[in-house]
Structure 1
Amino acid sequence: MPHEVIMPVLGMAQDSGLLVTWQKAPGDAVTAEDVLFEVETDKSTMEVPAGADGYISALLAEPGEDVPTGQTIAIISAEKPQAPTMQPAAKPVAQADTPVTKPDAPAPRPPQARKAEAPAGDGRVLASPKARRLAHQAGLDLNRLVAAGHPQPYRAVDIEVLKDLPVAGRNGPDIAPGLFQITASAPRAGTDEFLAWMLEDGGISIAATALWASFAAGAMRRAVPDAGDLTVMLSDLTGATGAVLNPDKTRLLHQVAAPTDAADIVLRDLTGSPITGLRLSADATPVLSIASDGEWLRLSLDFTTGQLDDAAAIALMSGFAERLADPLHHLL
Structure 2
Amino acid sequence: MASIRDVAKKANVAACTVSRVMNGTANVAPETRQKIEDAMKELNYIPNELARGMFRQKSGTVAMLIPSIRHPYFSNLAHCIESKLYEKGYKLMLCSTDGQIEREREYINILKTNIVDGVIMGVSDLEDNEYQQFDKPMIMLDYDAGKKLPIVVSDHEKGGRLAAEKFMESQCRYVIHIGDRELSKVESYKCHTALAHALNAAGIENRFIEIKWNEFDFSGYLEIAKTILEKYPQVDGVMAADIQAAAFLKAALKLGKKIPDDFALVSYDGTYVADVNLVNVTSIIQSADKIGDKTVEILLKLMAGQKLTKRKYLIDVVRKDGETTK
Higher strand share: 1
Tell me which of the two structures has the higher relative contact order, counting C-alpha pairs closer than 8 angstroms and 6 or more residues apart.
2
State TM-score, norm by structure 2: 0.23
The structure with the larger Rg is: 1
State TM-score, norm by structure 1: 0.23
